[in-house]
């Protein structure tokens, strides 16, 4: 019995649909198998070491290429001393603290992995990502495209583990509680200082007049005040870099260009300027109390006044540099 043309067309269409469904099932299974293999391999590496070291092939396969149902945090760094990256070692240590905290936390899963790309092992990766500086932290989301916020703002936030964990939680919705390894250095130093102070008091138990020395307590108080007002506590909390090298010109910048950040070198500069201003006022005060002749007292007073005026003008100039649009200046612009 011959089939009518309409029946033949229906039969052909039915067979075509079956073939398409089979092809889709086979392709989907292959794609899923490939994804499972990638996740399994990353999990194996992560179980051995919390931070996975990436080469060019690994980076393309596990970070750039699809399919991917996991997020990847990548640190681009240059740890070789010849590269001259002053903060890369400290940033890498903080990054490892975050990765190890996640590795041994209850929230650990195969939805988030940590990796690192060193310039000496993957300079072509730096070119691929158009990077000309280090360290740089990047987040590669599981499904969506990368956004500007997926690059960590190290200049503003620093590289401390707590800040990195907060940024990772914002980008990947994975909360990491930071567990730092015990550090007994501070305890040992504190014990030694108390032991030294106790030994000194014991040796000088018959002559403790130095405890009533106003100059000693004044200098100690000034050191504490200078340390606090220069921003040392901010450095301790945020962990900023010591300085910044301009990738285009290679020039070093020791003063941060924004009021929202600062460098470690900047706090040392501010501390020195504040100390010079304080010394200038001390000289002015001593000039008023000294019993020298009037000409010498005038010279000392002029020296103290010159120090106060010059260094205050320098401090105001730095303030104007950080707070763009500040209208007032004095001597130095």
pLDDT score recorded for residue 115: 92
Q: 116 by DSSP, 3-state: which? A: strand
Of the candidates 74, 76, 72, 75, the residue with the CA atom closest to the CA atom of residue 43? 72
First to last CA, the chain: 102
Mean pLDDT of the 80-109 span: 86
- Helices 161-172/88-103 angle, 10° precision: 60
Instruction: Report d(CA 11, CA 18) in Å as an integer.
Output: 11
For the segment 12-39, what is each residue's pLDDT rounded down to a tens digit? 665 666 665 555 444 545 667 778 888 8
pLDDT of 10? 55
Whether the pLDDT of residue 211 is over 80: the answer is: no
* Segment 80-89 mean pLDDT: 82
CATH topology of domain 34-172: Glutaredoxin (3.40.30)
Q: In the chain, what are the domain boundaries?
A: 34-172, 213-322
Check residue 3 and give its pLDDT: 45
Please report which confidence band the pLDDT of residue 160 belongs to, taking 50, 70 and 90 as the band edges. Answer: confident
- Is the distance from CB of 174 to CB of 111 less than 8 angstroms? yes
- How confident is the model at residue 24, as a pLDDT? 47
């Amino acid at each position: 019995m011959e089939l009518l043309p309409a029946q033949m067309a229906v039969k052909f269409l039915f067979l075509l649909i079956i073939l398409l469904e089979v092809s889709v099932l086979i392709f989907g299974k292959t794609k899923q198998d490939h994804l499972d293999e990638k996740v399994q391999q990353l999990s194996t590496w992560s179980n051995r070491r919390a931070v996975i070291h990436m080469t060019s092939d690994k980076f393309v396969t596990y970070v750039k290429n699809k399919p991917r149902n996991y997020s990847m945090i990548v640190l681009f760094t240059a740890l070789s001393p010849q590269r001259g990256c002053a903060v890369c070692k400290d940033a890498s240590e903080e990054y490892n603290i975050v990765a190890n905290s996640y590795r041994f936390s209850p929230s650990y899963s195969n939805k988030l992995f940590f990796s690192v790309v060193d310039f000496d092992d993957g300079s072509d990766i730096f070119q691929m990502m158009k990077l000309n500086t280090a360290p740089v932290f990047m987040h590669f989301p599981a499904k969506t495209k990368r956004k500007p916020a997926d690059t960590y703002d190290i200049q503003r936030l620093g590289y401390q583990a707590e800040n990195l964990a907060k940024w990772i939680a914002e980008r990947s919705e994975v909360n990491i509680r930071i567990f730092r390894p015990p550090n007994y250095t501070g305890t040992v130093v504190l014990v030694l200082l108390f032991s030294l102070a106790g030994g000194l008091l014991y040796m000088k138990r018959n002559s403790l007049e130095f405890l009533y020395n106003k100059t000693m307590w004044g200098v100690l108080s000034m050191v504490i005040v200078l340390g606090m007002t220069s921003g040392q506590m901010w450095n301790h909390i945020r962990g900023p870099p010591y300085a910044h090298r301009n990738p285009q010109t290679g020039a070093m910048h020791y003063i941060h260009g924004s009021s929202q950040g600062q460098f470690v070198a900047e706090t040392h500069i501010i501390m020195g300027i504040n100390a010079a201003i304080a010394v200038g006022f001390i000289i002015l005060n001593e000039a008023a109390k000294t019993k020298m002749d009037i000409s010498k007292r005038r010279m000392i007073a002029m020296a103290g006044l010159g120090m106060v005026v010059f260094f205050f003008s320098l401090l105001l100039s730095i303030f104007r540099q950080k707070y763009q649009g500040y209208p007032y200046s004095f001597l130095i612009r």
